[in-house]
Amino acid sequence: MSQFPFLLTLTFLLINGALGQLGHGEDCQLTPDCDTTIGLECRDLKCTCIPDSIYDEVNSTCLILTGAACEDFGDDRLACVSHARCEYNGTADGYTCQCSGSSYVQGPDRLCHPTEGGDCDLTTDCSPSDQLLCTFGKCQCQNPLNQRFDHDLMACRIMVGFPCNPVDPIFRCDQNMTCNMDTGSPTGFSCECGTGYLPSLDNERCYTDHLQPCQPGGWMEDDCDYFHRGLYCRQGRCQCAQSPAQVWDEEQKTCASVEGSKCSVMKARDQTPLPCRTGLTCIVRGNQFFGICR
């Protein structure tokens, strides 16, 4: 019996995609007609990306949207949308696609958009575009010398001591600050830490003052200024993390080492400062950074 009819049928099926080769947007009858290896299914007689995914015209595949379940391993898994990674979300859902790092944020379209520090071509690429400008290919605050980007608020905020405007959202102070009258400021106002707060040594933020109520969040993630002043949220209040070797020095506005405790003459990289209490001197012996308070 001749094999010609069989070969003719097979050729017809291959050409028309009946063996799962139909691409995105092509007509179909059943899901196996479509190329399921790139995430397609037959819906309303069209090969369409599975739910919670979007078709990428450049790479000719479906990509999983942010917030949707994903697989962290496997040769046939679908990738997440650009600038997103498949990460464990700490819930029963397991792994979901999440925007990478702090330079990209999820938009209403469930894609990852560049925020402060992210790559851009136009200001409209940045999120939020009313706060950021695309400068030299990076999303930045409109006045980066006077402003810092607050990732909690998703907004640029004026830092301590710089001019502000109480009615202009672009010139609004950061959290824990107030915009106070200042005759020496070009706007007539400047940002100052509110009652119960202290400025960080770089004047970027205002942290909770010593013995003021705080919310614990880890060594580097609470309301207290651990990195600059050595404070840590303990028992609901900002206290010296290295107590009893350190106590609060009101004159220096920082935690300071007591007599006989370790100190530093300068701030070593990735180390909190270790000044001596007022009236004591840091005696260094054979070490570039550290000594003993005497």
Q: So what's the architecture of 256-294 in CATH?
A: Ribbon (2.10)
Q: Provide the β-strand partners of residue 61.
A: 56
For the chain, list residues with pLDDT below 70: 1-20, 74-76, 93, 218-221, 267-272, 287
Closest residue by Cα to residue 96 from 107, 76, 81? 81
Reduced to 3 states, what is the DSSP secondary structure of residue 94?
coil
How many CB atoms lie under 10 A from the CB of residue 20? 17
What pLDDT score does 102 carry?
Answer: 82
Q: Provide the β-strand partners of residue 155.
A: 150
Report the Cα–Cα distance between both ends of the chain, in Å, rounded: 105
pLDDT tens digits, residue range 130-146? 889 999 999 999 888 99
pLDDT tens digits, residue range 157-189? 999 999 999 888 778 999 899 999 999 999 999
Look at the domain 115-194 and name its fold.
Omega-AgatoxinV (4.10.40)
Alpha-helical segments (H) within the chain:
4-16, 226-229
What pLDDT score does 74 carry?
Answer: 62
Reduced to 3 states, what is the DSSP secondary structure of residue 240?
strand
Pair of tokens at residue 57 = 């015209």
How many CB atoms lie under 10 A from the CB of residue 107? 14
Closest residue by Cα to residue 205 from 189, 225, 187, 220? 225
pTM, whole model, 2 decimals? 0.66
What pLDDT score does 215 carry?
Answer: 84
Q: Where are the chain's structural domains?
A: 115-194, 195-241, 256-294
Contacts by residues 122-125 (CB-CB < 8 Å, ≥ 24 positions apart): none
What pLDDT score does 9 carry?
Answer: 43
